[in-house]
Structures are given as C-alpha cells and as structure tokens.
Structure 1
C-alpha cells in the first residue's frame, strides 16, 4: 500500500457513533480543525440497539451533556416519538427522562448537523493505524487506502466495531452491528502503541413486524403529558405520537430456552467476551432468575416511517429457528414475523485504567478514548465521554489546561472517575446508585451545575447563558420572598392543610415553612399568596426542590467540601510510590498502575486503604515542608 499525506488537522475522531459525534462537534465548536471518520456515513449516530434515549441515570447524563453544550438532548427532543418520566413515585434525585426516538430521523438530523458544522469534515474511511509521527509529537491516522492524516490529537470511539464478531446460535462471522463491516486492523496498531485491549460482548433483541402483532392482547403504555424536554433550550411544546406496549414471557417461553441452552454460544463456550451485568440476555435471565415465572418486555416502535418494532428485554444469541419458536410462545406474538434476528456481538475495547481522568491515554500523549471502546455500554454513557474527550482533545491541541469534572459536579464526572480509578470488569452502565451525591446531581439542576463551565469553554452561547443567569436570579428572589411572607391561620388555609393530611396552623407561618412540608406544593399555596410573581414551570420546580430539601442539600454540600479538600491535594503521575515507606505492597501496585492525580482519587482505588491514604498525606506534608 502506497501512503500519502492527505491532510493535517488539529483533532481526528475515529468512529461516528454517539461518542464520536459529540467529540467531533465539541472539538470543532472550540475552533479546532477536525476530521470525523466513519466506516459508513449511513451509520452515523446509528442506534443498533433500542432507539431510545435516557432512562434511569441515563436521563441525567443527557441533561448534563446539554448543560455543557453537547448535542444529544437537542437531537432527542427533535426526533422523539414518545416520552416518559421514570421514577415519579420516588424523590426528584432519581427522576429520569426516557424517550423513544425515531431512529432514522435521529441519524439524518445528526449527520446533517455534522456536515454543516464549521471546522468539521466528515469522511467515510476505515482507519487501520494510529501511530506517532516522525517528530514524536504529532499523531498520524492512516486509512485503508493509504491516506495519512497528521493530527495534534486523536480520539478512538470505535463502539462495537473493533474486531466485531456476530453470534447467532452455532453461526458466527466477523461484522459490526446491523450488518456493517467490522474494523479489523486498528487493534494491532493500538497494541503496538502499548495500549492493551480485551473482549467485551453485548447483544440485541429481534426486530419484529408490526402487522404480525396482536395488540389487543397487549397492555398499552402511553407517554407522559406534558412532556419535559431533555434540552434546556427546547421551548416549543413536544408531543407523544405513538404508544408503546407491555407484554410478558411465560413458562412455555422459558421451557423453549432451557431446552436449547446447549445451542447458545454464550453457554456453549463460543463467546469469550464479558457481557453487561445489568442488561442480561433472556437466556441469562431464565438461568439466573429461575424462580421468576415471567419477565416483563416492552414492544417499542423504531420510528414513524417503518413497521419494525423493538422487543426490549429479550436480547438473545440463540439460533434463528429457536428465536422464532421462543417469541411465538408470548401472548400477542403467536404469529409474529421476525424482520431482524437477535444476535450477540463481541468486540475489542481498552482497559479504562489506562486512561487519565481527561480520557487521554497514559501511554500516548494526544491519544484519547471514548464510548464503548472505554468499556461502557449505552448511547448516553458514550455521548458523555465523547463530549469530554472532544473538549480535552481540543484543549490539548491548543496547549491549554484540560477539563476535569469531579464526582460532586456531575454524573459525567462520576462515570469518568469510576472508569479511570476503579476500572470495570464488564460493560459499565450508569446508575443513580453509583453516585454518593444523588440529591445534588439531579437532572433538573444540571444547568446550574454545568452551564457556567460550558459557557467558560465557549460551548454555550451568550444568549443562552444570560437566560440561564436570569432563571436562577428568579429562583433566588422567589426563595427569599417566600421566606418573608407570613400566612395567617384561616379556615381556608387549614382546610387545605388538613386535606393534604398535615397539621393546621394555630399561628402565622412563613410560606417557605409550608412549602417545606412534604404534603404541600408551591402551587397549592397560590390562593393564599397575593403577590406571587408569574414564574415558569422550571423556575417553580427549582424553588420547590431547594426549599423542601434544604437540610439534606446542605449536608451533602458539607460532604462535598470534605471530598474536595482531598481532591485539591495533588499527586504527580511520577510519584515514587515504591519509595514511600509504610505503603502496603498492594497499594503500591495499584497506585503505580492508576497513577492518581490527587489524594481524593487515590482514596477511591480498590486496594488502597485509609491507612495508605494517611501515609500519603504524611509524605505530602513532609514534602511541602
């Protein structure tokens, strides 16, 4: 193959899935000349699994992406066909948006945006090698056709394409998702750079023909009204266009699966990769939860211009004829026709412990990782990493300090800290339980936490930032007003309080004290608040949450302050842990591998004890003296 220098860029992004799209947009919007490579332009921002965005904790990530100036939230609002707010029966810390998306429209809208973005070029090409340039500073991305692209930084966001291999029963073959070609050469190049890779696995259910489903036997699941948008910029009202449906497996379904477990590549030993713990195949569910009589499934549309329906909760790698038999045991699917078979896919990914919290590889300056290549699962986790990798690749190219988000700032910070400090043994999925600061990291206040950061970077416009400032000015003023207004006891007030099953007033009370009661809402008190200003729903939401949870929020803020004191005690990547007396052997090994940037990060490494942290603090203090 004859190579030639095709072009020079500041940033090159390999892979145009959800991580790659966010990375390329961020780098280009920060003024870097950027090139985005995709094996197929028809697969840009593809959703090879369920065309949905959000869900428990994942909705938080999407809102944080939007608050920083990323794109996923805006695209989701533009292309949603049904929206629901999950966990309404719980507290606001775990409310999570989830939307069913028109898959083709999402791809088309994102691709067109990329094509129109200044400083960004989108190219269909397979990158087969990443290497250091002769100067030892720049990097080069080489395509299969011999084109060499010289860059200051490179982001690898290859998703499940890297040495991808499909499994359906006894049949297996090299492929990316959705019948796309796999990327079969890049892994060896990364290994030559000193980056170790490993095999992970994921799977997807069958797509079935809408007209072959008997919907009269299914439970309808409508969307929520009114719809809460993902993006803080979305002002136009959104609407639900289609319903989803709920159905269940049964004992006949489980018996078909048990009789054919020996034909499953997962149980037959063909699949080497480690699968996602929190999204098991239906075979796994039947084996691991053998006491359950049924498993809940959701039938969801792939879009408005297709008859394909997605069977969420029933991913499988069983043979084709077994899949048909298995699906037809389910109520309403007795005559179902499969349009796309379920399959498992195995792929190469890196060990995220090889990454700095900036998502740059420790072994290679200027080389970043993002998305499923970093060992995660899910479109939202991928997009979040892509945004941060794109920002930091651009800042690296410009010679500026990187962006670091800590655990108390965001779920994005929690995600990256978990990956780069603790690593992952199976595909990582974000959950609210992973954060110790859940009450602070609500999806409703993502703008308060992250929009100033996006603005300082240049990803948030002046107009949007001023609207944000005005919103929280109104929030602060209203909280202060409610703390001053006194409501006298009256028959009407006490009737309301008693109807809400809370104590009536015997003396005057501040409006803020009444709002603080769990049974009473801000809007309930409107008839007794003569000077209540006209406020938007999002301002009212912030006012109410800040008042109701004031004590808990203050307690978590105190915990954050303690944590950040440790985060501010910096450690050098070159810290000689092997020479520090008092550190246990296991701690030395883990610290040398992870190379934490602070005492705080060191304290979260598995195998590093509180006693080891005390030794490090003493060592730092002696060095400072």
Structure 2
C-alpha cells in the first residue's frame, strides 16, 4: 500500500511543516502523518509570528530556504519592528497573523510540493530494528517504512487539558491525545518528563468596547520577514491594550482553591516567561494591574485573542473576572482558557543534528524537546528535516554554530544544557547578537541554504543584489566628503557639534544622532545617489558602518572563543574572585569545576555573558 519513504514526519505543527517541506524540497520522498488534516499548521496559541529574538529565528529560517517567513508575510494583518529605540542587535520583527489564512497557506504550500504525501491517522509506535528506526506504526496497526523518522508531537503525547477542577485527555481543545510513543521510548531507555503550557479565553470582538482601550497601530512603513519578493502590507488591523485591576484580581484569587495549578493537579512545569494570569497575581502580589493585549485573529473574523490572560481557572471565574477589565464589561466568550500537560524528552538525549543518541535516524523537533513557541519549533523542524534528508541519502550532517545563528544558540543550549522548563529564546541568550541581527540573516545563512539545495535561485539573485548595493552605498559614504560650510548650519539645527574640516559621510554616520536619511538632507549629491536603493539595502549599509567597531569586536570574540574551546581552567580556580560573574554561575562553576571553557559553557545556569566574562578574566 505504501512505498518506503526517505522521511516520515509525525505531527503537522510548525516543526512538522518545516521538517517535511525542507526534506521534500531537498529531494526526499516525505510522508507527513497527522491526526487531523484540518489542523495543519494551526496557531494553537496567539495569532502572531516573531517577537524579541523569535523574529530573528523566522528570518533565519527564511534565509536558509524555509517557509515560515514567506507564509507569515502572505498572512499578516499587522507588522511592527520591536525595540527600534535600542541598538540593531535588539531589533526584532513581529507580525499579527490571520490564523486561518496562515494554516491554509501552509497546507497549500505542502500540497504543492510533489515530494510530500499525507496520511491522517494517529501514530502509536515506531518500528525499530537493531537500534535504528525503520518506520512507524499507526493506530490501525499499519506499518509504514522509512529511512528516517522525525517526531514533532507538540503537546499531544499523553496530553491532559485542565479547566478548573475538570480535566480530560487531549492534545489541544477539541482534539484527542496521542498515546503509545512515550511508553515505547521509555522502554528503550529514553528519559521522559512532563511540562505544561496554557492558553487564554477567546472572545467575541463585537462585544468589546475599544473606546476604553489604547490602540496599538502597526508600523507606518511595515517591513516583512522574507528575503524573497513577498508583498508588503498596504493595510493593517489595530491591536489594543487594556489592563487588569484589583476587582479582577479579587475574583481570580477567590477561584485559586479550584485552580489545578495551585491544588497540585498539574505536575508539569510551566513557562517562566509567559505565566498564567493567576500565577502573575500570586507571584507579583504588589502589582495592582497587569497589561492585556487584545489581538484580532484575522481579517474576516470577530474572534480575538486575549494575550496576557492565560488561565486554567474554572470557566465561570474566567468569565466574571474578564468582565471587570475596562472594555470587557459586556464580553462574550467563544471558549475558556485552559492549561495542558504533556510529555517531553529532555533534549540532552539528542546530538547537534537533533538525531537521538539512542536510536539512529530518529529525530525530535519542537515541544517534544521542551521548547515553547512557534518560532523555536519551526527552527528545530527545519534543522531536523534537513538532517533527516542528509541521513536518508548518506550525506554530511548540517549544524549551525552559536556564532552563526539564533537557531544554533537554541540547539546548542538544548542539547548541552537541557531544560527543566519550557525553553524560550531571548536576545540575552546569544553572546554574539550584534552578529546575529535580523537584517543580515540572508548574508549569514543563504549561502548555506544554497549549498544544501534548499534555498532557491531567486534567493541567490536577491542576495547578490543586496550585497552589491550595500557595497556601493558604503563606498559612496567613504568617498563622499562634505565641507564645514555645507553642513554646519544643518548640524546645528540637529543639535550636533560642527565639523572643522572636510569630513566623509562615513564619519558623520557614526554619530548616534545621524542616519542615512539625515545624511541625505545634508548632501544633495548623496540624496540623489541613495534614492535608487531599497530601504533594506540602506538599513543594512547604515548598520554595517555605524556599528563597525562593535561588529569587528564580536568577530574577534568568535575567533577567540573557537580557540578557547579547549582552553584549560586551573583546577583550583576561584570563581568568587570575579565580581561580574552571576551568583548562579559562581555556585555552579565552583561545584562542578569544569576543566575547559568549552565544558563551562555547557553548564546549565552559566550564561553566555558569564563565559565572556570568564574568557576576559582568563585572558588577563
């Protein structure tokens, strides 16, 4: 009935879709197995892609040849570049998405790939021979053979949904849990654990009073995620901000005795950086209000997502509390929020390709590895899909270093440090974040995608054009000089110190207050020249010039770190003598006594910043 596949992907969430698409695009014959064809690429939580550090991951996926950026661009209803007031290493693209359109476009993309087949059924086990996976077993007892298997089960492995004192099996609202795989893997020697996540209630937007909320507009000139020629947004939908208050908190506190989180019915560990509303009220008792983001679910629906109100309290408590929030006085609920517990496998059981150490040709990606977030899942799925293809065709493994991509940071953290709570990416986790910016992901990674056969020729052309444009702009900035009489009066208007001799535009651009747009106002010749280049090329050139010294410093640190990987640490080294080390790092390093910098960098609780401090100290 079935051919033997190169790759079987189990699960069609964000990780599964990227894994299947990547392997198939590279030439593998792929089967995507899912419990429900109608929920492929469903946004189970908030209708958004990107955010702080997460937006960088989406751009990296796109640069390598993945699909998340393209589909996000084609389904977004609002775009914002976060952290614009900070340095470019912190700039993070984020979009609100049309939930239904996002899923529709993903399914269409997969169906358009002739190398992807589909099978709708629960996978209950794996076929393993001599320590190597050779296929999967379905709930009907059907065995489907494959050279490699990628598990992307999300929250479905023995999932339990909690709403107040009620609980029932399920991997997502309205969908049953998956059983069998965890039990088989544990028998094979895998370590398993439990985690939890949650989601807020969904409301009828027609019942809300937006006049009592703060409007949050998209960017005036919206950018996008993909380096391909996807369209820019021409219209946007607003989001809204409101706040909880003491009345809301009192109602929620009264329901704590029925909260599965506080009564011990939930054993799994939840995400520290995305706590439930009851957890926020309990942990931050001194706060008299918490921010609530009201996010539309799409262009053509009245459903809204109440970001900041994730909860597993009884539905009547949720309803009463919601109606005390300004603008929610007459709110109608589509469905209550809930918490979900599920199995995961500590990712220290994986190699850097996301292949398991115990079973050859078996890969894990997404929440099964203890992560949270669409973007983290999609990044892992892409790497697992690439390496499943490479294994199936006896090709070299593909990995990314910490200095090359946020995806590299993510995987390195997971496999070396593990995680005991849902792992979320932050810019602070990357010690080379000035190099890993959202504007240069194509320069960093598209050549790798081209080498793999994953990135398209369109991407090669776009990259060559961008590189050439950047070089031209930087050369012009270096060559074009302005005299004091040309610019001093304008510099004075900007509140800047005047120049005393002819100065290159490159030197002026290094002033924090001046950008390329300001230089164009100072010099007509430059204004005429720069008008022929895209916003993206201008921005990239400006960052490369303005932050050249920081970029060079990080490149030197990368080289030093590579040399220091095997650098010995004296056995009796006193970590407490370094004030800049975090308290946790001092405790962990003193206890475990790593023999090299490489070992120290992989100790849980020792941050990349701690390692940088240690390198500097040892260098002295």
Q: TM-score, normalised by structure 2?
A: 0.91
Aligned twin of 1:577? none
Aligned twin of 1:560? 558
Residues 542-585 of structure 1: CA deviation (Å, up to 9, x unaligned): 11101110111111100011122355x69xxxxxxxxxx999xx
How far off is 1:90 after superposition? 1.0
Residues 219-243 of structure 1: CA deviation (Å, up to 9, x unaligned): 1111112110110113533133311
Aligned twin of 1:154? 149
- Paired with 1:524 and 1:242, the residues of 2 have a C-alpha distance of 31
Worse overlay, 79-88 or 532-541: 532-541
| 1:462 aligned onto 2:457 | yes
Worse overlay, 493-502 or 346-355: 493-502
- Paired with 1:194 and 1:541, the residues of 2 have a C-alpha distance of 51
Kindly report which structure 2 residues correspond to 1:157-556, keeping only aligned pairs within 5 A, or say none. 157-490=152-485, 492-527=486-521, 528-530=523-525, 532-533=529-530, 534-556=532-554
- Paired with 2:249 and 2:203, the residues of 1 have a C-alpha distance of 20
| 1:77 aligned onto 2:73 | yes
| Contact 1:218–1:245 (8 Å) recurs in 2 | yes
Residues 382-425 of structure 1: CA deviation (Å, up to 9, x unaligned): 00000000001111111111111011101100000110111111
Please give the secondary structure, in 2, of the residue aligned with 1:552: helix
- Paired with 1:146 and 1:173, the residues of 2 have a C-alpha distance of 25
Aligned twin of 1:618? none
User: 1:25 pairs with 21, 45, 48, which one?
Assistant: 21
Worse overlay, 217-226 or 411-420: 217-226
Please give the secondary structure, in 2, of the residue aligned with 1:444: helix
- Paired with 1:386 and 1:314, the residues of 2 have a C-alpha distance of 29
- Paired with 1:317 and 1:138, the residues of 2 have a C-alpha distance of 38
| Contact 2:228–2:458 (8 Å) recurs in 1 | no
- Paired with 2:72 and 2:420, the residues of 1 have a C-alpha distance of 30
Please give the secondary structure, in 1, of the residue aligned with 2:173: helix
Change (3 A) 1:530 1:582: closer
Aligned twin of 1:102? 98
Residues 258-294 of structure 1: CA deviation (Å, up to 9, x unaligned): 1221110000000000000000000010011111110
Please give the secondary structure, in 2, of the residue aligned with 1:179: coil
User: 1:11 pairs with 7, 13, 19, which one?
Assistant: 7
Aligned twin of 1:586? none
- Paired with 1:137 and 1:70, the residues of 2 have a C-alpha distance of 28
- Paired with 1:327 and 1:159, the residues of 2 have a C-alpha distance of 29
| 1:605 aligned onto 2:602 | yes
Q: How many residues align structurally?
A: 584
How far off is 1:115 after superposition? 1.3
How far off is 1:351 after superposition? 0.4
- Paired with 1:402 and 1:14, the residues of 2 have a C-alpha distance of 21
Change (3 A) 1:20 1:599: farther
Change (3 A) 1:128 1:311: same
How far off is 1:137 after superposition? 4.2
Residues 126-155 of structure 1: CA deviation (Å, up to 9, x unaligned): 11001313x654522000111111111111
Runs ≥4 in structure 1, deviation > 4 angstroms? Answer: 135-138, 598-601
How far off is 1:110 after superposition? 0.6
| Contact 1:421–1:601 (8 Å) recurs in 2 | no
Unaligned runs of 5+ in 1: 571-580, 584-589, 591-595, 614-625
Instruction: Say what the alpha-carbon RMSD is for the aligned residues.
Output: 2.3
- Paired with 1:241 and 1:486, the residues of 2 have a C-alpha distance of 41
| Contact 1:131–1:193 (8 Å) recurs in 2 | no
Q: TM-score, normalised by structure 1?
A: 0.90
Aligned twin of 2:63? 67
How far off is 1:599 after superposition? 7.0
Unaligned runs of 5+ in 2: 574-587, 589-593, 612-620
Residues 6-27 of structure 1: CA deviation (Å, up to 9, x unaligned): 4311111110000000000001
